[in-house]
Structures are given as structure tokens and as C-alpha cells.
Amino acid sequence: MITQLPDDFRFSGPSMELCTLTVRVADLADRFRFTLVHWGDQLGPATAMLVKLESGRDAALTEFRYAIERHGMKGPVVEVEAQDVAAVGVAALVDDVLGALRLSREDTDWIAPAENKARALDLLHWWAQTSWDDMHPRSEQRE
């Protein structure tokens, strides 16, 4: 069963865009009786829904009003953990998201390329190195 994550949820590592949907995030929230997170920035209002999929993986569905009004987006961007993309690949993760949301491939506007699995591995490697190096400077950096 799909469940809602708390409003202050954060991914444990880097995230990646998985796909964009043609179904508005408010419609999905109504379908599952979830609440939406609202905020604004210099580009205007944004709305998100944070969910734990039936598989236990996390996803953020974020919709930006300027992207809908000015760039022709039809619905939210779905972001997932890069480690999940690296573990199972784009196609399996898209199926996971769509299945949990009771949607089909026809409800997507864009899907990340399959080679994003390799990009996810590179991103995780970079992130691990950066995080480690930031917290553990080399002796020559400490002086």
C-alpha cells in the first residue's frame, strides 16, 4: 500500500528525476486522500506530495506552477533516490511508481533514459567521495 511521508521528509542521499506525469499532483493527492505540501520561491508557487511506494522506496512528486503555465508541463516531476535508480534501473522504478499510483505509461510525459542507471552509479560515487572528503579532510588540507 502506498503511504504518505511526513512533510519534512528528505532523501537519504542524492535524488534523480525519474519521469514527469500528465496527471496533476492535486488529483493524485485526492485519489489517495493525501495532503499536499505548498511553498513558494522566486519562480512562484510549488506543490508536492511525498510518498513511500508499496516496494518501500520513496518518491517526491513536485509540481511548479511556472512549469505548468509557461513551459507546457502537464503534471509533476517524480524524483527518487539515486541509489534506487542504481539498484533496479529506470524501467523497473517507473513501473514501481506507476503501479503504486495506479497509473499507466500513457500517464507519463517524459521518462528518464535507461542509461541513467549508470549516471546514478556515478552520482553516488561522487556524492560518497564529496561527503567523505568534506567531513574528513586530508592532513595537508588541515594545516
pLDDT in tens, 67-82: 999 999 999 999 999 9
Q: What is the 3-state secondary structure (H, E, C) of 78-135?
A: EEEEHHHHHHHCHHHHHHHHHHHHCCCHHHEEEECCCCHHHHHHHHHHHHHHHHHHHH
- What is the mean pLDDT for each group of 10 consecutive residues in the chain (143 residues)? 94 95 98 96 92 97 95 97 96 97 98 94 86 56 46
Q: Give residue 132's pLDDT.
A: 55
pLDDT, tens digit, 9 for 90 and up, residues 111-132: 999 999 999 998 998 888 875 5
- What is the model's pTM? 0.88
